[in-house]
Structure 1
Amino acid sequence: MESNTIAWWIYALLSAGFAALTTIFAKIGIENINSNLATAIRTVVILVIAWGIVFFQGNVVNILAISQKTMIFLLLSGLSTGLSWIFYFQALQTGKASLVAPIDKSSLVLVLLFSVIFLGEPLNLKIILGSSLVVVGTLVLIL
């Protein structure tokens, strides 16, 4: 494996691990508070960490070089993330983590579909089969 391939695998596995912990910690944390308040608290923590990293790495000066198109799509991504978190916490507060998480993670199927439609990435048998298995697996877990 190339070093770049290894790096993205490590980052992806760390992301999956922390996403799993996020679900468990959130389910415990929202037990006695409003889910929107919980989302706001979580967002502040993320905000402090993200800007801390940007300042530590000295990348804050690059903010003025961001193109309008890039900024629009980053803002849309932030809006989508915020809405995702709000609905995720609502679902987590009222449902079982073991059921909410698989449905949330089934967004993978939508990512694959959207990547074909909007990014022009190739659709092949492997993607179709993998997406189908994700859908079937999600249905097995939630039904």
Structure 2
Amino acid sequence: MSWLDQVTWNADGLVPVIAQDADDGRVLMMAWMNRQALEATLATGEAVYWSRSRQRPWHKGESSGNVQRVRSVALDCDGDTLLLQVEQIGGVACHTGRRSCFYRQLDDGQWRVAEPVRRDPADMYGGRNSE
């Protein structure tokens, strides 16, 4: 059995992936991969995800320049979630221009923005709002 066959893919052929900063452990984002994206990630050494909205592979940083260099890939105990330890180039993982996609914190029943924008999304995407 190949290592790819040991991943439990969902009904759409996808697996959730958490990207974590390899240096300080901060969770940067969650995305999805299909088999092709996982193979491309290992082949290139950079994170390649599956864009559910565009229905195509998405090389993280292809438009923004905020590439994720993969240092390690781990599979959880159930085989249904991947963890990437990454070096986040440019210091921005989120399409909103923040370091992490997890920038809102629940505070007294309200979502509070707890992380500043580091880079204007218009500068990263030329007027488009995501990668």
**Shared fold (TM-score, shorter chain, > 0.5):** no
Higher strand share: 2
Higher helix share: 1
User: What range is the shorter-chain TM-score in?
Assistant: under 0.3
Q: Compare relative contact order (CA 8 Å, sep 6+) and give the higher one, 1 or 2.
A: 1
